[in-house]
A and B are shown apart, each in its own frame.
Chain A
Amino acid sequence: MKKEIYNCLLCGTPLNENVTWKSLLGSDYPDTICSDCEGELEPVTESDSHEIISLYQYNDKMKDYLHRYKFMHDVILAKVFRNQIRKHLYKRRETIVPIPIHPEKLKERTFAHIDELLKAADLSFKQYLEKITTETQGEKSRDERLNTPQLFKLKQNVDMKNKEILLVDDIITTGTTIQHAKNLLIQEGAKSVKAFTLIRG
């Protein structure tokens, strides 16, 4: 995935090769989407807490993005948000821990979508967690979601004592997934657990 990107990854229009004002201001990577597509995204302006930070609102454009990235398996779309993700995360002192997918699901999808988002932004992360159910949260009712016994377990030989953790997921809706992971990590001795998601549902 080293080659340059000449066309908008979302709509295919040729990207302006001129030096844009953004790259003059020191963005790390060249753009991968056009300004029209960019304009259709809705950044989150105010956040509810410092505990959970999200970058974008869930709207039609994001829905389309997630569909193409996660379900049509267009892996290169991991690059679309690399600048924004990097900007938010590279100075964080916590250990970044992506929310994992079940190994069976991983084979089917062929890539771990959260890991790829982080890789695209050249961020290092630790795969401390393991998913133990194959069901997805989206298939369940709110009640079922809240009462799910356990979604994750800690990988073998991982010591959580006094660790500061930043969980990363693609989208947060009810917050159950994050809550499950957080509870587990705290239980295992983590000092603090915060979260970062690309999208707020």
Chain B
Amino acid sequence: MRFKLIKTSNYITYKSIIVEPQVRDFFSGRIWTRNHTPFPQEKIEKYIERGYFKLRSAISIKNTSFGPFKRKRYICNRCHNSNQQEFIEFDCAKCESKCVYCRHCINMGRMSSCTELILWKGPKPKQKRNKVLDWAGQFTELQQKAANELIQSLEQNRNHLVHAVCGAGKTEILFPAVHYALNRGNRVCIATPRTDVVLELFPRFQKVFPNTTIHALYGGSPQQPGFAELVITTTHQLYRFENAFDVVIVDEADAFPYTFDESLQKAVIKARKPNAPTVFVTATPSAKILNRTKKENWGVSFIPRRFHGHPLPVPRFQSLWNYNKPFEKGSIPPKLLQWTKQRLQNKEPFLIFFPTIQLMKTAITLFENIHPNILSVYAEDADRKEKVMKLRNEEIPGLLTTTILERGVTIKNVQVAVVGAESKIFTSSALIQISGRVGRNVNFPQGDIVYFHHGITTEMDEARNEIMRLNKMGFGSSG
């Protein structure tokens, strides 16, 4: 009794604070700016004072010597950028000395020498291993095989590439593997370069993982409560994690403009725990990634067929010489006009891709004249989600778009045209993705995909050849 009392009083006088779950849940695995947290500053300072956070300057200096050459190298502790070109020295009025900032991640708020980062080192949230996968869908044989192979790779703790054509049902293939990892007590991350894909994946995972806490993170995403066992995020937001995930899945790894470059690799490596397996999912793997699968002995799954069993629609080329001129003069080039009218007449939803916002803005006023409900979307468009929804719900006949809708968007019976397919922005992988929007629905497995161009590029040829090659692999003929 006496002993117990002492214990109790010990507990009371222990110079600690009771850790609030909200603070613990938010900061676990995150690397955050000391002065810009979602909590009151006094609270954060109290936790720092009691040693619950590790502190780190946002920019580190590494002195390297290479033979007789000694030099200073800067490293950004948020994005792990070490490209010296992207570090800028300036006279800082805040710290009143020479300061350095990182341009690489400046869009997320500037990191400079006098910015302090905090990392949680307090107690970790406990993860329950009772996660339910509520999905009654049917796998095709190829999907089942891929799903099994993926779990095998996780069991063996090795990286894995899922190479699947657009419309192969890639997301579903991930369900069993994510379920397996969660019930192993893992914290799982699905990262994708595009906000649209995050917005598309989030509700689908919420639906099939009803008792898992899932957060969707993108620029401007709302604050979400609890500890996320599954995080669906843009690759940019990955910068805000460190040593956090047991499994990282990179979806659409090669989406423009974030090809699987060095900085994205660094972000993935930083966000995952050491040696945590990484899964790459893509329809258009780069030669580099294919090489790595061999060199580093990754697991590989290849699905050349769509889940509904029909071949990929093959793009056709249609010349549209000097298309800029008619647009500027206030008319839609005749072939494109005819194509659009055909869609309207057939009541088929359509997407028309433009190489630049500028051209699209010129075009939209002309398209409005043929049908007042034709809308346009681009990256900074605040109503982007709603407009895509309207097309899906058949409230509007068609959308003009920049490349932002090249992936992640599924619209029943959609017909697709690319204007200016010869433009630099339409790489073969972008064109393959765009073509992959067509014929995804089992009831409408075909559809028109046309590249309107001012000259055929190798990228266009490559895209068409790759699509025909995949059809051959999936069906044994050029389909």
Contact = CB atoms under 8 A, between A and B. Distances in A.
A72 B85 contact: no
B103 A110 contact: no
Contacts, number: 42
B236 to A, nearest CB: 15
Given A74-B110, A76-B103, A111 B92 contact: yes
Interface stretch (A1-9, A84-92, A160-168, A171-179): A1-9
Interface in A139-181: none
A119 to B, nearest CB: 9
A113 to B, nearest CB: 11
Contacts of A112: 93
A107 B90 contact: no
Nearest to A72: B106
Contact of A110 (B85, B89, B94, B109): B94
Interface in B66-91: 84-85, 88-91
B369 interface: no
Given A107-B94, A110-B94, A73 B89 contact: no
A10 B88 CA distance: 15
Contacts of A107: 93-94
Nearest to B109: A72
Interface in A77-119: 106-112, 116
B300 interface: no
A112 B92 CA distance: 9
Contacts of A109: 93
Nearest to B112: A110
Interface in A1-47: 1, 3, 6-7
Contact of B85 (A1, A7, A108): A7
Contact of A106 (B84, B93, B101): B93
A1 B88 contact: yes
Given A73-B110, A74-B106, A1 B89 contact: yes
Greatest chain B CB density within 10 A among A3, A72, A110, A116 is at: A110
A52 interface: no
Given A6-B85, A7-B85, A73-B101, A110 B92 contact: yes
A180 to B, nearest CB: 23
B326 to A, nearest CB: 22
Contacts of A6: 85
A72 B101 contact: no
A75 interface: yes
Contact of B90 (A3, A7, A111): A111
Contacts of A75: 88, 90, 101
B90 A72 contact: no
B34 to A, nearest CB: 15
B55 interface: no
Contacts of B92: 110-111
B103 A111 contact: no
B107 interface: yes
A1 B90 CA distance: 7
A76 B106 CA distance: 12
Contacts of B133: none
Contacts of A1: 88-90
A110 B106 contact: no
A116 B90 CA distance: 10
Contacts of A76: 88, 90, 103
Nearest to B107: A72
B276 interface: no
Given A6-B85, A74-B103, A76-B103, A111 B91 contact: yes
B99 interface: yes
A120 B209 CA distance: 55
Interface in B106-125: 106-107, 109-110, 112
B85 A111 contact: no
A16 B81 CA distance: 24
Contacts of A111: 90-93
A75 B87 CA distance: 11
A140 to B, nearest CB: 25
Contacts of B109: 72
B88 A110 contact: no
Contacts of B103: 74, 76
A7 B83 CA distance: 13
A111 B112 CA distance: 13
Contacts of B89: 1
Interface in A37-76: 68, 72-76
A32 to B, nearest CB: 12
A31 to B, nearest CB: 16
A116 B92 CA distance: 11
A76 B89 CA distance: 9
B91 to A, nearest CB: 7
Contact of B99 (A7, A74, A108, A110): A110
A6 B84 CA distance: 12
Contacts of B112: 110
Contacts of A110: 90, 92-94, 99, 112
Nearest to B92: A110
Nearest to A2: B89
A99 to B, nearest CB: 16
B356 to A, nearest CB: 11
Greatest chain B CB density within 10 A among A72, A73, A75 is at: A75
A3 B83 CA distance: 13
Top 7 A-B pairs ranked by shortest CB distance?
Answer: A75-B90, A110-B94, A76-B88, A73-B110, A106-B93, A110-B92, A107-B94
8 contacts: A72-B106, A72-B110, A75-B101, A107-B94, A110-B93, A110-B112, A111-B93, A116-B90
Interface of B: 84-85, 88-94, 99, 101, 103, 106-107, 109-110, 112
Interface of A: 1, 3, 6-7, 68, 72-76, 106-112, 116
